[in-house]
Chains A and B, each alone.
Chain A
Amino acid sequence: MAARTQPLTRWPGSFAAILVGILVLACLAAVLLRAEGGRGLGPSDWAAVRFTLVQAGLSALISVALAVPVARALARRRFAGRGALITLLGAPFILPVIIAVLGLLQVFGRSGWISQGLGWLGLEPVQIYGLHGVVLAHVFFNLPLATRLILQAWQEIPAERFRLAASLGAGPRAMWQLLEWPMLRQVLPGALALVFAICLTSFTVALTLGGGPKATTIELAIYQAFRFDFDLGRAALLSILQIVLTATAGFMALRFSVPATFGGGLDRLVRRWDGHTRRARIGDTVVIVLALGFLALPLLAVVLSGLAGIGDLPLSVFRAALVSVGVSALSTVVLLGLAIPMAVTVSLSRGGMVEMAGLLGLAASPLVLGIGLFVILNPWTDPVALALAVTALVNAVMALPFALRILVPRARQVVAQHGRLGVSLGMAGRAFLWRVMIPGMRAQIGFSAGLGAALSMGDLGVVMLFADPDHATLPLQIYRLMGAYRMEQAQGAALLLLVLSVGVFWALDRGGRWHAEA
């Protein structure tokens, strides 16, 4: 064997990427092969593509643009409850969509809190339905995620650099030019691509907040092709379009992302000497309070509506909660099993293809993934018997791009800092992985695991075709309660889901950051 130049091998990550690629492509192929002639894409489908692009583009730009000041404020300020606030900010992202929409509309709707307030002042209610409503809802979902990604990058600038900058007398402006802007150039393209990809497959939110069929997205067109026309060919074509759009966004992100070179640090506590001015303090406080208001009010609405129903939940809701916890745990294990090797592989080179494979899971329509898996499994076994395993697998694949965004930057840092030393000490392979790599990425692994577990808990994903009546998940049970007029119990169950998701997220995220500064 030739002398090693890298502390770790690439093949496990490449293998995981190939597995994910095969899974997604096999599902698409299965749906296409099962198609029995169709009418191809029509003008209404292209209208859906246009609307999808506009709303996803705007949502991504605005979410990320707003996330920069919020992340900056959170990076510079230390205050009581900051950790709890950061955890809570993850909540919108993990709520089942329908519940989040009800929460949003209780604040921003025609008879929402803001409209009522305006009514007392003798003003017209808020007009929330339309493109701006769709964007508002997507910002609500994705601002927290973008903030966390950017905040993490901010905190990965070694403390020594800030110390050096401060000792050289750098003010806020110089600090921005020297440290913060290079960091943002590295992280923003990826964050934009990720939010864009999430919004691309939006359906319920876009339709409900969009106010009518003008707000038809590709995902709705897929749903229509399957459910209304049973035109599987068109469903698959539309899903391929989604993948092409996401892949384009992903490639652009990789192209425009300029790696920042801050060098290594000793993982010391970051202190910011530029945040002490009065202006900085007031500015940061205003930004944090505004973001908190925007994100917390709809959550508060969900909690308040849930309190009435949580006392009298049927037993089946608790059974469903147990099932969801199990699915979520399995899904998290699969997620980490895929994401850690893939992140390692990406960190050893540019790793473009591996990262693109990671985006595939998010880009493919969950409905088409579900149909594909169903068609593949059906000749061999009863797909419903595999419902929970399939749900866990698909949830893991869909959470993969998030985990990679979180893990990759840190993995690069660890390899850059310790890789050569590891190789020169003859400490490579397994020893490097377990003694250096994984401990070095502990916080990021915890965050990814938390996000993956919470996402899996709240996701309905492929359940529609695979629904197993005896092992309903909690989100399915919430839909069932709503479908049976039991709105109060549904909102109670939604509160239970919120508590479980945030709890699991907090525990894993916190576990990763044990002894570390948040």
Chain B
Amino acid sequence: MKYLAFAAGVLTATATFADTPILTVYTYDSFVADWGPGPVIEKAFEETCGCDLQLVGVGDGATLLARIRLEGARSRADVVLGLDTSLMATANATGLFAPHVAEAEFTLPVPWDDPVFVPYDWGYFAFVHDRGIDAPTNFRDLADSDLKIIIQDPRSSTPGLGLLLWVKAAYGDAAPDVWAGLADNIVTVTKGWSEAYGLFLDGEADMVLSYTTSPAYHLIAENDAGKTAALFDEGHYLQIEVAAKLAGSDQPELAEKFLDFMLSPAFQMVIPTTNWMYPAVLPAAGLPDGFDTLIQPGKALLLAPSETTVLRDEALDEWLRELSR
């Protein structure tokens, strides 16, 4: 195996010098793609930090947390960027993360004072559809309609779990009833967001579970104003994406510096058109053109992280039961 390690080492060798400190940030895979926020952010941070920022992409948010738990206290990571509100309680319980000192005027729809996790962007889950269909205004309305939807499996996908918590937060004990009503609207359930969105674009369903910001991609990147999201009057569930430094980091100061940088305009202004989410600290320049066309939910729904762990399993059982009939 030695020569393999050697070969791989040669392949991945980068021009770093021994005295340049290395900051390792684990994030989800789409963050580090060429068209994601990663490349721009890496360049901007390295200009100021005198360090080598290494972004390591790992699956999606939940896989990222599983990887960190697999590595345990010996993890190479200094910072993890890409967990979200539904994973925070589980992540915190591992004891692998350390409190931060970063401060900012957050522009989130809810107050924020978590000692460990720092938000960097946020968005609302929503059903995206083509303009021109008669869109429902809440889940009951959707259940009564003939509209076909595609959703993601909560066991394998972040938006899928978001929908589960959305229905639970909005309807509480009546959630099973809502799922029973939705069963005949659901064309299929996919492993991840990509499959679902791909099928929707191919015309397999009228609506797909995604984000209120999704139409902005089509408008800004493709010049296509034909997509929009359905505004639900029971409110929309919120996803806040967060970062935290690891307790076992050998670069705690650099990690703290990165969290500060994460809240600065240099990072935040990249987010809307690369991650297609709202920045956690709105830069003075405001949002890019096109974001003003997006729907504005009247009410933000969010379960407290401590509630999430309990309700998650309960809601999953209900979901499985109602959709397996």
**Interface of A toward B, CB cutoff 8 Å:** 34, 44, 47, 98, 101-102, 105-106, 109-111, 129, 203-204, 207-214, 220, 223-224, 226-228, 230, 314, 316, 371, 374-375, 378-379, 381-382, 384-389, 464-465, 467-471, 476, 479-480, 482-487, 490
What residues of A have a CB within 8 angstroms of the CB of B198 in the complex?
98, 102, 482, 487, 490
Q: How far is the CA of A211 from the CA of B204 in the complex (A)?
A: 12
Q: Contact at B4–A389, with CB atoms within 8 Å?
A: yes
Q: Contact at B191–A204, with CB atoms within 8 Å?
A: yes
Which of chain B's residues has its CB closest to A316's CB?
A: B34
Q: How far is the CA of A352 from the CA of B221 in the complex (A)?
A: 57
Give the shortest distance, in Å, between B16 (CB) and chain A (any CB): 13
- Given A227-B63, A467-B29, A480-B30, do A110 and B187 touch, yes or no (CB 8 Å)? yes
Partner of B59, one of A371, A378, A467, A471: A467
- Given A111-B202, A385-B5, A482-B197, do A208 and B188 touch, yes or no (CB 8 Å)? yes
Taking CB atoms and an 8 Å cut-off, the chain B residues in 216-237 that contact chain A are 217-218, 221
Q: Contact at B324–A213, with CB atoms within 8 Å?
A: yes
Taking CB atoms and an 8 Å cut-off, the chain B residues in 119-172 that contact chain A are 148, 153-156
The answer to the question of B8 belonging to the interface, with a C-beta cut-off of 8 Å to chain A, is yes
What residues of B have a CB within 8 angstroms of the CB of A214 in the complex?
323-324
- What 0/1 pattern do residues 60 to 93 of B give for CB contact below 8 A with A? 0011011101110010100000000000001000
- What 0/1 pattern do residues 11 to 33 of B give for CB contact below 8 A with A? 11000000000000000011011
Taking CB atoms and an 8 Å cut-off, the chain B residues in 197-213 that contact chain A are 197-199, 201-205
What residues of B have a CB within 8 angstroms of the CB of A387 in the complex?
8
What residues of A have a CB within 8 angstroms of the CB of B8 in the complex?
385-389
The segment from B50-58, B96-104, B300-308 that touches chain A is B50-58
Give the shortest distance, in Å, between B220 (CB) and chain A (any CB): 11
Q: Which label, helix, strand, loop or mixed, suits the secondary structure of the B interface?
A: helix
Partner of A44, one of B74, B189, B276, B320: B320
Which of chain B's residues has its CB closest to A389's CB?
A: B4
Which of chain A's residues has its CB closest to B29's CB?
A: A467
Q: How far is the CA of A316 from the CA of B35 in the complex (A)?
A: 10
What residues of B have a CB within 8 angstroms of the CB of A385 in the complex?
5, 8-9, 12
Q: Contact at A371–B156, with CB atoms within 8 Å?
A: no
Q: Contact at A386–B4, with CB atoms within 8 Å?
A: yes
Q: How far is the CA of A314 from the CA of B35 in the complex (A)?
A: 10
Q: Which label, helix, strand, loop or mixed, suits the secondary structure of the A interface?
A: helix
Q: Could you list 13 A-B pairs, sorted by A, with CB under 8 Å? A: A34-B70, A47-B324, A110-B148, A110-B187, A212-B189, A371-B70, A374-B70, A381-B5, A382-B76, A467-B57, A471-B12, A480-B29, A485-B221
Partner of B153, one of A105, A213, A469, A476: A213
What residues of B have a CB within 8 angstroms of the CB of A129 in the complex?
187-188
Give the shortest distance, in Å, between A265 (CB) and chain B (any CB): 44
Max chain B Cβ within 10 angstroms of own Cβ: one of A378, A387, A484: A484
Q: How far is the CA of A227 from the CA of B186 in the complex (A)?
A: 24
The answer to the question of B319 belonging to the interface, with a C-beta cut-off of 8 Å to chain A, is yes
Give the shortest distance, in Å, between A281 (CB) and chain B (any CB): 39
Nearest 3 interchain pairs by C-beta: A111-B203, A482-B194, A224-B155
- What 0/1 pattern do residues 33 to 44 of B give for CB contact below 8 A with A? 111101000000
The answer to the question of B268 belonging to the interface, with a C-beta cut-off of 8 Å to chain A, is no
**Interface of B toward A, CB cutoff 8 Å:** 4-5, 7-9, 11-12, 29-30, 32-36, 38, 55-59, 62-63, 65-67, 69-71, 74, 76, 90, 148, 153-156, 183, 186-195, 197-199, 201-205, 214, 217-218, 221, 276, 319-320, 323-324
Give the shortest distance, in Å, between A441 (CB) and chain B (any CB): 28
Q: How far is the CA of A136 from the CA of B199 in the complex (A)?
A: 18
- Given A44-B320, A226-B66, do A469 and B59 touch, yes or no (CB 8 Å)? no
Which of chain A's residues has its CB closest to B27's CB?
A: A469
Q: Contact at A227–B62, with CB atoms within 8 Å?
A: yes
Which of chain B's residues has its CB closest to A44's CB?
A: B320
What residues of B have a CB within 8 angstroms of the CB of A468 in the complex?
12
Query: What number of residue pairs across chains A and B have CB atoms under 8 A from each other?
Result: 165
What residues of A have a CB within 8 angstroms of the CB of B65 in the complex?
230
Q: How far is the CA of A203 from the CA of B192 in the complex (A)?
A: 12
- Given A384-B56, A483-B29, A483-B30, do A471 and B71 touch, yes or no (CB 8 Å)? no
Q: How far is the CA of A384 from the CA of B70 in the complex (A)?
A: 14
Q: Contact at A485–B11, with CB atoms within 8 Å?
A: no
What residues of B have a CB within 8 angstroms of the CB of A469 in the complex?
29, 32, 38, 55-57
Max chain B Cβ within 10 angstroms of own Cβ: one of A214, A314, A480: A480
What residues of B have a CB within 8 angstroms of the CB of A378 in the complex?
70-71, 74
Q: How far is the CA of A210 from the CA of B323 in the complex (A)?
A: 12
What residues of B have a CB within 8 angstroms of the CB of A207 in the complex?
153, 156, 188-191
Q: How far is the CA of A98 from the CA of B205 in the complex (A)?
A: 17
Partner of A110, one of B186, B195, B204, B319: B204
Q: How far is the CA of A102 from the CA of B190 in the complex (A)?
A: 12
Partner of A213, one of B59, B66, B319: B319
- Given A314-B34, A389-B7, do A101 and B195 touch, yes or no (CB 8 Å)? yes
Partner of B214, one of A212, A465, A482, A485: A485
What residues of A have a CB within 8 angstroms of the CB of B188 in the complex?
129, 207-212
Give the shortest distance, in Å, between B154 (CB) and chain A (any CB): 8
Q: How far is the CA of A385 from the CA of B56 in the complex (A)?
A: 11
Q: Contact at A109–B191, with CB atoms within 8 Å?
A: no
Give the shortest distance, in Å, between A455 (CB) and chain B (any CB): 20
Partner of A487, one of B12, B55, B201, B205: B201
What residues of A have a CB within 8 angstroms of the CB of B32 in the complex?
469
Give the shortest distance, in Å, between B189 (CB) and chain A (any CB): 5
- Given A98-B198, A480-B30, do A213 and B191 touch, yes or no (CB 8 Å)? no
Q: How far is the CA of A381 from the CA of B279 in the complex (A)?
A: 36
Which of chain B's residues has its CB closest to A379's CB?
A: B74
What residues of A have a CB within 8 angstroms of the CB of B323 in the complex?
212-214
What residues of A have a CB within 8 angstroms of the CB of B34 in the complex?
314, 316
Partner of A485, one of B187, B199, B276: B276
Partner of B67, one of A111, A389, A465, A487: A465
What residues of A have a CB within 8 angstroms of the CB of B11 in the complex?
388, 471
- Given A44-B320, A129-B188, A226-B66, do A479 and B194 touch, yes or no (CB 8 Å)? yes
Which of chain A's residues has its CB closest to B7's CB?
A: A389
Q: How far is the CA of A208 from the CA of B155 in the complex (A)?
A: 14
Q: How far is the CA of A387 from the CA of B71 in the complex (A)?
A: 16
What residues of A have a CB within 8 angstroms of the CB of B183 in the complex?
212
What residues of B have a CB within 8 angstroms of the CB of A471 in the complex?
11-12
Q: Contact at B36–A484, with CB atoms within 8 Å?
A: yes
Which of chain A's residues has its CB closest to B69's CB?
A: A230
Which of chain B's residues has its CB closest to A232's CB?
A: B70
Q: How far is the CA of A374 from the CA of B67 in the complex (A)?
A: 9
Q: How far is the CA of A431 from the CA of B38 in the complex (A)?
A: 56
Q: Contact at B189–A213, with CB atoms within 8 Å?
A: yes
